[in-house]
Amino acid sequence: MCSQMKHVNGQTSSRGRTILKMVIEDFVRTAHPVASKRLKDKYNIELSSASIRNTLHSLEEVGLLNHVHTSSGRIPTDIGYRYYVDELLELTEPTPSMKKIAMDELLAASSNIDRLLQITANSVAQVSNLFGFALLSAEVRSELTDLNLVKLSSGQILMVVGFKSDKVRTIILNLSMEIKDSLIDTIGSVLRERLVGLNVLEIIETIGDRLKDQRHFDNEIIQVLIQNAHEYFRISEDDQIFVSGKDQLWEHPEFSDPSEMMTMMKMLDNSETIKMSAKIPSDLSHSTIAIGSENPADFMEGCSVAARSINIGFDSISFGIIGPKRMNYGEVVTVLDLYADTIDGLNDDK
């Protein structure tokens, strides 16, 4: 996708970017394909109708627009939306009413994280007129209570880890050489001494530093654990999911057909769908957006997912919005950033 976008960027003129922005924003507002005549009449473009048609054709040739029928107007492709989000999106300041809703709703729930996340899911859905979700990642708040190493064969060791949440995981470590039983016992003791009592986030982020000063640091067992800490210590199946109602989605024409509505309802009733949506890779500085085929689940190709992740103490939360690809991306990002900033502010005040 990255190389494809570079090619598109190189092939798109200033005029093309301006017209693409108009097409996408008009389509977002109306849900109707955008024809050259509408661009000419609605936006008073100082170009001839022929020039507008040629520009639309050029945008279609590089994959940014498509048309349903030969004589119909254009609609954005997934690549077109991606180009718009990355290159053309203009963010606005949240309105006073948005700020008031966020502060009033979240302040009332700030003392209870479960309630806070349910309110967040409901509130972002209300403000954006889409479907909201929030996820509390259990993997970063559950403490390690036990760790044992058991030799299976000359090159395999079974690691059993227990967590305060009563979750137990077993992991097979495949090693390149045999390790003596006595050394396995010693390393097991070191790992218990250094890691038991820590939560998963602390282990994942600091395991290397916590083990580097002991004499078996270069042992293959320890190096394998350091390199694969995120995989070996995660317990993400215990994540808690909070979702909004779906009623606001049915106001969008993409889901007006009963069969489309049923398909969407089934997807959003499946907790694994929400988990996959909430787990979109993101850092803590900005929202991330997956458009159509960029979504990790194939059955979400007709949707876009915008998500934001923040930390509250040792808890990691993700929240976001699911809706049609024809969503108002600028408004959605504004909403998610507003709620992240508000939650951070409430957390700092404690």
Closest by CA to 323, choosing from 250, 234, 262, 266, is 250
Q: Which helix (H) or strand (E) holds 264?
A: helix 258-269
- Alpha-carbon distance of 292 to 79, in angstroms, equals 9
Sorting pLDDT into bands at 50, 70 and 90, what band is 4? low
Q: What is the pLDDT of residue 55?
A: 93
Statement: the pTM of the whole predicted model exceeds 0.75:
no
Q: What is the pLDDT of residues 325-340, one digit of tens each?
A: 999 999 999 999 999 9
How are beta strands 131-137 and 315-324 bridged, if at all?
A: antiparallel
Least confident of 68-72, 266-270, 325-329: 68-72
Which residues pair with residue 309 across a beta bridge?
318
Q: What is the pLDDT of residues 196-252, one digit of tens each?
A: 998 887 888 899 999 998 888 999 999 999 998 888 887 555 678 899 999 988 889
Q: What is the pLDDT of residue 311?
A: 78
Q: What is the mean pLDDT of residues 80-104?
A: 91
Domain chopping of the chain, boundaries = 2-88, 96-139+238-348, 144-234
Q: What is the pLDDT of residue 280?
A: 59
DSSP letters, 97-113, are: HHHHHHHHHHHHHTT-H
Which bin fits 197, alpha (ψ -120 to 50), beta or left (φ > 0)? left
Residue 10 pLDDT more than 60? no
Q: What is the pLDDT of residues 17-46, one digit of tens each?
A: 999 999 999 999 999 999 999 999 898 888
Please give the CATH topology (third level) of the domain spanning 96-139+238-348: Beta-Lactamase (3.30.450)
Q: Are 11 and 64 within 8 A, CB to CB?
A: no
Which residues contact residue 39 at a Cβ distance below 8 angstroms, ignoring those fewer than 6 apart?
Answer: 19, 22, 23, 26, 45, 52
- Its CATH architecture, for the domain 2-88, is Orthogonal Bundle (1.10)
Q: What is the pLDDT of residue 283?
A: 60
The CATH number for 144-234, chosen from 3.30.390.60, 3.30.2130.10, 3.30.390.50, 1.10.8.60, is 3.30.390.60
Most confident of 280-284, 298-302, 304-308, 310-314: 304-308
Sorting pLDDT into bands at 50, 70 and 90, what band is 258? confident
- The position carrying tokens 């398909």 is 263
Which residues contact residue 274 at a Cβ distance below 8 angstroms, ignoring those fewer than 6 apart?
Answer: 133, 135, 241, 243, 268
